[in-house]
Structure 1
Amino acid sequence: MIPVQGVEHQTVAVLGLGRSGKATAAALAAGGAQVVAWDDGNDTREAAAADGLRILDLTREGNWQGISLLIVSPGIPHLYPRAHPVIAMAWQLGIPVDNDIGLFFRSYATGDWDQFDRAPRVIAVTGSNGKSTTTALIHHVLEECGRPTQMGGNIGTGVLSLEPAIDAEVAVLELSSYQTDLARALTPDVAVMTNLSPDHLDRHAGLGGYFAAKRRLFAEGGPDRAVIGVDDPEGQYLANQLSMGPADDRVIRVSSGQKLDRGAWAVFARKGFLSEYRKGRQAASIDLREMRGLPGAHNHQNACAAYAACRAVGLAPREIEAAFHSFAGLPHRSQTVAEIGGVRFVNDSKATNVDAAAKALQAFPRIRWIAGGLGKEGGIAALQPHLGAVAKAYLIGHSARDFALEIGQTPYEIADTMEQAVARAAAEAEPGDTVLLAPAAASFDQYPNFEKRGEHFTDLVLALTADR
């Protein structure tokens, strides 16, 4: 645990008592704060009280006496579509509002660092798609290269549940727009933006607000190095804003598809090869084509971003390349579950929006596509240009029939359930095919989350292997 600094003898309120909220309350208490807490759920409040937390109804103005700070869990809206009433109350009373990410960045460095030979560093990764894979890949490379490292944030461990840093350690954090938007302190040593595509637009009042939340990691944080994916206009804009000119190597531009051979520092992937360019000259090259944990152009972009971040903290190209080979990928993100009779089964349940599904659909040559669930605003008509490799779609869940109307001439059948879809796709697949779960939809019609959906797919595929 990382005790929060600067809160000793203060009363601090915590709003939201899920995993993040409870960890925050513990870290505040470890820093000497008097913690009060509130959650809209009665059962959650009762469970927290049973664990010893002091519950205080923060919807009542009279209960705010003496509170100096409000810490908000990331899932709670603080501005759009409207501020939670407790947050609005804090505004009215002039009480600062922050989150666990802000507390982490103000508390991570301690006096113990004066005794270290090499100061710890923080790599923070944000973006629309690929940030989890990029974060995990950076962490994996650091581990494989013998560097002390921890991983947390929006993936795995909450930031305040990480252990205090040791000599030369690198903390690798995945940060969502919900987390970067509110944090009052953002000071990573290396900041990474993978890409930007429409998502969480209701929470940020449109694409501009969504981008502004991501941009704060760079504009507010002033990282020593910024790794920016420049395959979209927002990335190009951000890289230009941060750079002082072509010779400025504080910005490392990253691409999957573009050749970036100008400027001070760039990393790009084309035709399956990653290239690093420094001052217009090639510095390194890696063949990504046989790395099964990184299939497709979207994962090659992730590899470029991770490579650039690892280079920024001093790792050598050949060290990084060797570690890439042993990366198995993340569950539910282009995860190869099995290969049966020459047919590959891939779980990309995390592909919950059109952009993520499009990237998965471009990663394999011939696809049996399992899609559907609770469709998002706008449907999936935008996927039509990316369906050329789809031999057949097997549509499941609430939006199956809507999806059928939006995929053009692509052959399909309504399978309704995951069991039916896997059985039919496996029966019809031929050697060389990939049975791909890339839903392009939320899971909440049939599953509590995308992880459970991916686990169900995986269990069904593994049952097929047992039958062989």
Structure 2
Amino acid sequence: MIPVTGFENARVGILGLGRSGLSAARALRAGGAHPVCWDDNPAAREMAETEGFDVGDLLREGAFDAIARLIVSPGIPHLYPAPNKVVANALRAGVPVDNDIGLFFLSLGTEKWAEFDDPPKVIAVTGSNGKSTTSALIHHVLEHAGKTSQLAGNIGRGVLDIDPPDDGGVVVLELSSYQTELARALTPDVAVFSNLSPDHLDRHGGLGGYFAAKRRLFAEGGPDRAVIGVDEPEGLFLAGQLSEGPDDARVIRVSVEGKLSGPGWSVFAKKGYLSEYRKGKQTGSIDLRPVKGLPGRHNHQNACAAYAACRALGLSPRVIEQGFHSFEGLPHRSQVIAEKNGVTFVNDSKATNVDSALKALEAFSSIRWICGGLEKEGGVGGLKPGLANVVKAYVIGREAAEFAMQLEGVGAEVCTTMAAAVAQAMDEAQPGDTVLLAPAAASFDQYDNFEKRGEDFIAEVQARLQAGL
């Protein structure tokens, strides 16, 4: 646990008692603060009471008279589409609003660090797609290199639940826009911006607000080194804002659109080959094509970002390459779950929006595509560049028929359920085909989350394989 400092004997409000809220309450108490907890869910309040926390209605009049700060869980809106009433009351009372990420950066460094030969480092990763894989890949490479690494934030453990890092330790954080938009302290040593595509627009008041939430990771204190994907206008703009000139090595530009030139530091992938350039000269390269845990162009972008972050910490290209080859990938993200009779089965249930699903479609050929679910704003027109790789689509979800009608030029069968889709796809698959789950939609019409949807796909595939069907 990272005890929160700076609030000794102070009352600190906690709004939302899920994983991050309870973790913040424990860390505040460990640092000598007095948490006052609230959640609309009675069961959550009861759980906090069983841990001995003071549960107080933060909506009542005068609730913030003696509160030093309000800590808000990521899922609770503070501005758009409308502020939560508790948050609004705190702001009217002049009480600062923060989250567990802000508390983490506020409290991470201790006097003990002065005794270390190599003070701990923090790598923070944000972006629309690929940030989980990028974070996990960085963590894996660091461990392969013999460094002590902890993975936390939006993946792995809560940021305040990790162990205080020791001499030479590294903390790798995956941070969502919900986490970066509110944290009052954001001071990583290395910050990574992977890419940007429309998502969570209602929460951020549009694409500009969404980008602004991501940009805060680089503006609230500023990292020593910034790894920036420059294939979208926003990333290109951000790199320009952070750089003092073409040869400013504090900014490492990353691309999978083509070769990056100039005197600065860049990492790019072209036709499956990763290249690193510094001062106009190539300083490293990796053939990514045989790396099984990183298939496709989108994973090559993740590999470039992870490579750049690890190079920023001083790891050699060969050590990083070795780490890449032993990386098995993450569940539900281009996860190869089986291969039989020349047919490959891939679970990419995390492809919940059009952009991430398109990347999955571009990563494979001859695809039997299982798609559909709770459609997101904007429709599915953006999938068109990847549809040439689709042999046939098998559409699931309560609105499967409407989803299928939008897939112009592709044979689509309305299956509705995962069981029916898997059965039909497997019956029709030929050697060389890939049966791919990449829904391009949210899961909530049929499942609690994308993990449950992916697990259902895996179970259906394995059951039919075991039965010899």
Shift of 1:258: 1.3
Specify the code of the residue in structure 1 equivalent to 2:77: P
Contact residue 247 and residue 262 of structure 2 kept, 8 A: no
Alpha-carbon distance in structure 1 between the residues aligned to 2:102 and 2:149: 20
Give the AA of the match of 2:256.
S
Query: 2 CA distance for matches of 1:417 and 1:85?
Result: 39
Residue in 2 that maps onto 1:78: 78
Cα offset for 1:243?
0.6
Note the C-alpha offset of 1:321: 0.1
**What is the CA–CA distance in structure 2 between the aligned matches of 1:290 and 1:108, rounded to whole Å?**
39
User: Match of 1:454?
Assistant: 454
Give the distance between the partners of 1:63 and 1:383, measured in 2 at CA: 49
In 2, distance between residues paired with 1:102 and 1:43? 27
Residue 249 of structure 2 is matched in structure 1 by 249
Equivalent position SS for 2:452: helix
Name the counterpart of 1:464: 464
RMSD: 0.8
Deviation of 1:408 (Å):
0.4
1:8 counterpart = 2:8: yes
Alignment-derived partner of residue 427 in structure 2 = 427
DSSP-derived class of the 1:388 partner: helix
- Counterpart residue identity of residue 14, structure 1: I
Q: What TM-score comes out, normalization by structure 1 length?
A: 0.99
Q: 2:52 matched to which residue of 1?
A: 52
Matches within 5 A, 1:128-167: 128-167=128-167
Aligned length: 468
Task: Please give the secondary structure, in 1, of the residue aligned with 2:28.
Answer: helix
Q: Per-residue displacement from partner, 1:20-66 (whole Å, max 9, x unpaired)?
A: 10101000000000111000112221222223221100001223231
Match of 1:301 in 2: 301
CA deviation profile, 1:116-136 (whole Å, cap 9, x unmatched): 110000000000000000000
1:445 corresponds to: 445
**Cα distance in 2 between the residues matched to 1:10 and 1:428:** 65
Q: Deviations over 1:397-449 (max 9, x none)?
A: 12211111111010110111000111111111111111000001110111000
2: CA distance between counterparts of 1:385 and 1:144? 37
Q: How does 1:171-210 map to 2 (within 5 A)?
A: 171-210=171-210
Contact 2:80–2:203 under 8 Å retained in 1: yes
Contact 2:151–2:171 (CA under 8 A) maintained in structure 1: yes
SS at match of 2:419: helix
Partner amino acid, structure 1, of 2:307: Y
1:7-26 alignment runs, 5 A limit:
7-26=7-26
Q: How does 1:209-224 map to 2 (within 5 A)?
A: 209-224=209-224
Partner of 2:62: 62
Counterpart code for 1:312: A
The one-letter amino acid paired with 1:137 is L
What is residue 334 of structure 2 aligned with on the other side? 334
1:316 corresponds in structure 2 to: 316
1:405 aligned partner, one-letter code: M
- Give secondary structure in 1 for the equivalent of 2:208: helix
Q: Deviations over 1:313-348 (max 9, x none)?
A: 010000000000000000000000010111110000
Q: Alignment partner of 2:463: what SS? A: helix
CA distance in 1, matches of 2:254, 2:27: 36
Encode CA deviations 1:180-213: one digit per residue, 9 max, x unaligned.
0000000000000000000000000000000000
Where structure 2 has 5 or more consecutive residues not aligned to the other structure, the ranges are none
What CA distance in whole angstroms lies between the structure 1 residues aligned with 2:35 and 2:127? Answer: 33
Equivalence map 1:118-129=2 (5 Å): 118-129=118-129
**Partner of 2:373 in structure 1?**
373
| Corresponding residue for residue 30 of structure 1 | 30
Conserved in 2, the CA contact under 8 Å of 1:61 and 1:89? Answer: no
Give distance in 2, aligned partners of 1:160 and 1:273.
38
| Greater alpha carbon shift after TM alignment, 296-305 vs 46-55 | 46-55
Letter in 1 for 2:227: V
SS of 1:63 mapped into structure 2: coil
- Sequence identity, in percent? 66
Work out whether residues 261 and 281 of structure 1, in 8 Å CA contact, stay in contact via their aligned partners in 2. Answer: no
> 1:293 Cα shift?
0.6
Structure 1 residue matching 2:388: 3-state secondary structure: coil
Q: Deviations over 1:254-275 (max 9, x none)?
A: 0112101323100000000000
Distance 1:225 1:79 in 2: 30
1:347-392 C-alpha deviation (Å, 9 max, x unpaired): 0000000000000000001100000111112221221222000000
Shift in Å at residue 169 of structure 1? Answer: 0.5
Q: 2 CA distance for matches of 1:92 and 1:257?
A: 47
CA contact (8 A) 1:204 1:210 kept: yes
Q: Give the stretch that moved more between structures: 458-467 or 166-175.
A: 458-467
After TM superposition, the score normalised by the length of structure 2 is 0.99
- The answer for the alignment partner of 1:168 in structure 2 is 168
Corresponding residue of 2:363: 363
- How far residue 222 of structure 1 moved from its aligned partner, in angstroms, is 1.1
Cα distance in 1 for residues equivalent to 2:284 and 2:422? 42
Unaligned runs of 5+ residues in structure 1 are none
Measure the CA separation in 2 of the matches of 1:47 and 1:111: 34
Which amino acid in structure 2 is aligned with residue 140 of structure 1? Answer: H
Alpha carbons 1:375, 1:398 under 8 Å: kept: no
Alignment pair present for 1:114 and 2:127: no
Is the Cα–Cα contact under 8 Å of residues 64 and 95 in structure 2 kept in the other structure?
A: no
Q: Displacement of 1:158 after TM fit? A: 0.6
Structure 2 distance, partners of 1:64, 1:378, is: 41
Structure 2 SS opposite 1:260: coil
Secondary structure, aligned partner of 2:62: helix
Cα separation, 2, equivalents of 1:53 and 1:142? 37
Whether the 8 Å contact between 1:343 and 1:435 is mirrored in structure 2 is yes
Q: Say if 2:352 is the partner of 1:352.
A: yes
The 4+ residue runs of structure 1 with deviation greater than 6 A are: none
